[in-house]
Amino acid sequence: MAEEKNLEYYLNLDWTLIEGQDLDFDGNPYYFVEIKEIPSFLFCAKTQEKARERYKQQLKWTLQVMLESGEHIAEPGEADDDTDWESLCP
């Protein structure tokens, strides 16, 4: 029997995190966490520690919306189709 892919299942996957630092409009540094498999996901905080600590709540909300809308959730290790976003976005 296949495992049910519910919110708990997705929250426990080994997501590919992309972490970085940038400057806001006032020139102040902030830290961000992106998830490679979910291109629309981005979480920002004033410190790297807060970004790492708090991105999981945002991930939970993002996954809930994706599940409720029936959107495909790409899992870590799933083949990357190298989507050409420029041709999709006018």
Calpha distance 38→83 (Å, rounded):
13
* Residue 80 placed within a domain: no
Number of domains making up the chain: 1
pLDDT on residue 82: 61
* Residue 62 placed within a domain: yes
- By residue count, the chain amounts to 90
The CATH number of the domain where 46 resides is what?
Answer: 3.30.160
pLDDT, one tens digit per residue, over 13-57 is: 999 999 999 999 999 999 999 999 999 999 999 999 999 999 999
- Residue 66, domain extent: 7-73
* Residue 86 placed within a domain: no
* Residue 82 placed within a domain: no
- In single-letter form, the type of residue at position 68 comes to E
Question: Helix/strand/coil (H, E, C) string of the chain?
Answer: CCCCCCHHHHHCCCCCEEEEEEECCCCCEEEEEEECCEEEEEEEECCHHHHHHHHHHHHHHHHHHHHHHCCCCCCCCCCCCCCCHHHHCC
